[in-house]
Amino acid sequence: MKKHMSIGMNILGFGAHAAAWRVGEVPADAYLDVEYYRNIARICERGCLDAIFLADGPALVGDVATQPVGRLEPTILLTAVALATQHIGVIATASSTYNDPYNLARRFASLDHISGGRAAWNVVTNATDAAAQNFGLANQLQHAQRYGRAEEFIDIACKLWDSWEDDAIIGDAGTGRYAHPGKIHTQDFVGQHFSIKGPLNLPRSPQGRPVLVQAGSSEGGKALGSRYADAIFTTQTSLEDGLHFYRDMKQRAEQWGRNPEHLKIMPGLSTVIGSSEAEAHARFDQLNAYHGEHGLIQQVAARIGIPAQELELDAPLPWARIGEVGTYEKGSQGFLEAQLNLARREGLTVRELSRRILVGHRLLVGTPEQVADTLEHWFLAGAADGFNIMPDMFPSGGEVFVDEVVPLLRKRGVFRHEYSASTLREHLGLPYPQSQYARSLA
């Protein structure tokens, strides 16, 4: 089969545009309604997308006065969504800083069992003080500590997922032999952050291990992702940056002794789509009008970590001040760097930057053809194995992508016409991971 791109869709909240809830496509409490998400997932599945994705963080952040900022817990919500779909993968974000490996490994393995092999864990370290303060810490752990913990966390999670070999269960009711004790392995893991005996209290799940997604584009994030992840969500604001990141990550994967094809690079892309360019821009203008100038400034301020009162909408970014902040530790480093690079490179004002970025990712305002062109171009140029799409607004922004962009990608031979497999790992073209304990007995 010809190689095709992978596509995930970020289904958080009302869509990528902060004012999406105000347009009134769905009620203002829809983001608490499981049927709202199930509907979006079914739309994505009708387009044969690889996966839906939920971002997350364990804290209330954002302005409650003007934004619907609450969030259902992703593994619970995606369990509900998985059971309303048959093929599409479900990628839940969870923090390696604010979870325990045993509970988290079990929860994702449970979701993998229940979904028939469609679960993925998007590993984040949570770079906010707000999260830290809900877990007994005055401030977040330093970057290096978070990533040290994340590495050990992933290592032990994989060991737990491998702890039952594939053929550990006999299940012979006649003789009463349930399992081979020799094929169920304790870990007796003692590391710097965790010590865990194991084994997991759950047999191996359909994918062997849930798919691992990693979203950090900092140096620590790249080292971690290239070593352990199956897919990387990344923010890239120019093709050149994208090409560079792609080559860098594939090389890193090889240095870890991995087949670079088994590390999928998936840049994020926010979309505002109209049947003409004018229509797309009108849609965007409408959303921005709801948001207002104050909203735009606040959005940029929150993202670059500079108070809103220090920003002017039609002035360049305050570069001296940004230099001061220096070793920025209050947000995702990868997101921040990508945005600052974009603004510096193109000399953007605050307003212009706000129109080029939504939820931290590159924004494309245009026709289905223009979106398909970009995806195809990045894919064929070798800057992406796939994309994480963040439509401006649900359901319409998801529907127009699936019904207008996907058919163009199919025509151009770069996306599937139907699902050929049943697990997310297979959709992504990833091999089934043998249990590390099975190898030792071979």
Give, as ranges, the residues between 146 and 185 that touch a second copy (CB under 8 A): 164, 169, 171-174, 176-181, 184
Does 268 engage in binding with a second copy (CB under 8 A)?
Answer: no
Q: How far apart are the C-alpha atoms of 189 and 208, rounded to whole Å?
A: 20
H or E stretch at 243:
helix 239-255
| Residue from 24, 257, 326, 347 binding a second copy (CB under 8 A) | 24
Residue 113 binding a second copy, by CB under 8 A: yes
DSSP assignment of 295-317, as one string? Answer: HHHHHHHHHHTS-GGG--TTSB-
Q: Does residue 126 bind a second copy (CB under 8 A)?
A: no
Cβ closest to a second copy, residue 64 vs residue 380 = 64
Q: Is 397 in the site for a second copy (CB under 8 A)?
A: no
Cβ-based nearer residue to a second copy, 108 or 246 = 108
**Options 2-10, 59-67, 392-400, 434-442: segment touching a second copy (CB under 8 A):** 59-67
Nearest distance from C-beta of residue 382 to a second copy, angstroms: 38
| CA–CA dist 104, 221 (Å, integer) | 20
Q: Coil, strand or helix: which one is 174?
A: coil
Q: Which amino acid is at 59?
A: A
Indicate whether 419 belongs to the interface with a second copy (CB under 8 A).
no
Size of the site for a second copy (CB under 8 A): 72
Contacts of 375 (CB under 8 A, 6+ apart): 5, 269, 384, 387, 405, 409, 414
Q: Which of 130, 322, 325, 438 binds a second copy (CB under 8 A)?
A: 130
Kindly identify the residues of this chain, within the stretch 346-375, that bind a second copy according to CB under 8 A. Answer: none
Q: Is 57 in the site for a second copy (CB under 8 A)?
A: yes
CA distances from 416 to 47, 89, 367 (A): 9, 15, 21
Residue closer to a second copy (CB basis): 22 or 362: 22
Q: Which is nearer to a second copy, 86 or 255 (CB)?
A: 86
Helices (H), 328-405: 333-346, 350-354, 368-381, 396-400
Is residue 106 involved in binding a second copy (CB under 8 A)? yes
